[in-house]
Amino acid sequence: MRLSRLITLVVGIAVILGLVIWLIDSITRLSWAIANPFLANLVIFLVIVLLAVLIAAFTYYFFWLPNQTKRRRRAIPKVSEVKTEAAQENLQAVRQQVAQIQDEIARRELMLRSKLIEQDLARGEFRLVVFGTGSAGKTSLINALMGQIVGEVGAPMGTTEAGATHRLKLSGVDREIIITDTPGILEVGVVGTERETLARRLATEADLVLFVLDNDLRQSEYEPLQALTQIGKRSILVLNKADLYTEEDLEAILARLRQRVRGTVAFEDVVAIAANPPAMRTETGEWLYPDPEMTALIDRIAQILRTEGEDLLADNILIQSQRLGEEARRLIDEQRRRQAEKLVDRYQWIGAGVIAATPIPIIDLLATAAVNAQMVVEIGRIYGCEITTGHAREMAISLAKTLVGLGIVRGAIEVVTTAMQFSVAGFIAGRAIQGVSAAYLTRIAGRSFIEYFRNDQNWGDGGISEVVQKQFHLNRRDEFIKAFMQEAVTRVIRPLQLEMKAEAPEPLEELRMPEYEEIPRSSEDTIDDWR
């Protein structure tokens, strides 16, 4: 009891005792002083009423009111304020990110999910999800659980096509419990894959997962269990059909299960049940239907929700908001990547046209630096980074030096020459090769800068060389080279042919592009081979 309340209690008792003494004395005096008996009785009655009111107020304040406050607090438990605030901050940040998404359908979906998470912040129930293979007995578990807690269950639920939900109440758990059945995992075919995707999504949204097995844990079952644990989901590993084993075999299986999931599931969270024991026939021919053995699971669920329920609820809300933020960032990254790749495609042919029009080495260098610098500025703007022209030029020159140092410039020329399949001799051929090679190198540079800005202006642990080499290998694949050269013919070679025809006094023989053939290279071909 707080000091202020204790002082009030002492003072109250003293006042009441004083009033009692005063009342006795007053009654004695009034009986002698007041000649009118009616008036004397009225005064005494008023004093008694006043005393009764004081006693009632005293009792209400010190005994009845504290008990009612405790009941109200127990009926409305509070989620962790720190985690709730973190979830609200995440949701606010997600909404700011969602506003940048151009895909209206994706934007609406993320906004809807953020509103659902907000509703979860104020919801008054725990969410349990039953997860496992189709033959493990998940639906039987729910039937048995509902039957033992709330009485007989109605019509059979049958095969679970989607998440069927049920409500129940556990003694000692203040919040209502929503238990959800899920489709079975590890089913074959396209439909099986879709059902498993739904089951996993429902499991990631649960406060507590009941992972149901009917035998020892297989590797294919351990993987989804571990995945749920890695994102912070608390799971109870439930061994169903325990009635099929002898006591010794059951203990051996439980021991193996606890060993396999050590570090993933707590020792006491591995329990055995018999959700649907088979009927037995007696010697007299009568059938006996044993009751489900669910006590261990019910006790464990109740204990977890009583002691950790509020933290599990807060953790789940925080996880959902973080996953939503990750989804928003992924969509924004894809959107930015598409925009940046279109920009690179445009600048690679701009650079090719400049080089093809001015085939002088010094002018080539200056023109390429100017084109790439402007490309860097615009890529940075797409990723929300303001880069000055001077800084962009320095970055472009630095990357150009890397291209030369790694032998990628020579490699690009060799790739282009081989793909074009004619000699580099001749004025048109030389200009065409220069222009197409410049486009190819601009593409590698642009894709490298996309990776740089995607990683918050960081080249990563491997540095600029690793990023450039990766892009070079990705952009020398046969299918890409074929499409690239077809576009190069349209954007670079054809315009050069038309230019030469316009300048020549007599017709020139048209330069024809032969059919594309695969670029010859061995499996051991490396960057160093181009040096």
pLDDT single digits (tens) 250-265: 999 999 999 999 888 9
Predicted local distance difference test score (pLDDT) of residue 194: 83
Clarify whether residues 147 and 63 are in a common domain: no
In this structure, is residue 115 part of a structural domain? no
| Residue bearing the bigger pLDDT, 15 or 132 | 132
In this structure, is residue 99 part of a structural domain? no
Clarify whether residues 272 and 348 are in a common domain: no
Clarify whether residues 250 and 383 are in a common domain: no
Domain span at 129: 125-293
Domain termination site, one of 274, 293, 312:
293
269-273, 351-355, 428-432: which is most confident: 269-273
Query: Residues near 145 by Cβ (< 8 Å), separated by ≥ 6?
Result: 168, 179, 275, 294, 297, 298
| Residue bearing the bigger pLDDT, 528 or 92 | 92
Confidence category of residue 151, pLDDT binned at 50, 70, 90:
very low
Clarify whether residues 288 and 139 are in a common domain: yes
Predicted local distance difference test score (pLDDT) of residue 519: 43
Clarify whether residues 377 and 518 are in a common domain: yes
In this structure, is residue 311 part of a structural domain? no
CA distance 467 to 450: 10
Domain termination site, one of 277, 293, 309:
293
In this structure, is residue 156 part of a structural domain? yes
Indicate if the pLDDT at residue 280 is higher than 50: yes
The closest alpha carbon to 294, from 238, 215, 225, belongs to 238
Digit-coded pLDDT (tens) for 322-347:
888 888 889 999 999 999 999 999 99
Number of structural domains in the chain: 3
Clarify whether residues 285 and 351 are in a common domain: no
In this structure, is residue 103 part of a structural domain? no
In this structure, is residue 117 part of a structural domain? no
Confidence category of residue 72, pLDDT binned at 50, 70, 90:
very low
In this structure, is residue 298 part of a structural domain? no
Indicate if the pLDDT at residue 114 is higher than 70: yes
Predicted local distance difference test score (pLDDT) of residue 437: 87
Predicted local distance difference test score (pLDDT) of residue 287: 83
Q: What is the CATH number of the domain that holds 211?
A: 3.40.50.300
Mean pLDDT across the chain, nearest whole number? 78
Clarify whether residues 167 and 64 are in a common domain: no
CA distance 455 to 94: 19
What percent of the chain is predicted at pLDDT more than 70? 75
In this structure, is residue 149 part of a structural domain? yes
| Residue bearing the bigger pLDDT, 311 or 48 | 311
Clarify whether residues 271 and 413 are in a common domain: no
Confidence category of residue 527, pLDDT binned at 50, 70, 90:
very low
Mean pLDDT value of segment 144-167: 59
Predicted local distance difference test score (pLDDT) of residue 362: 52
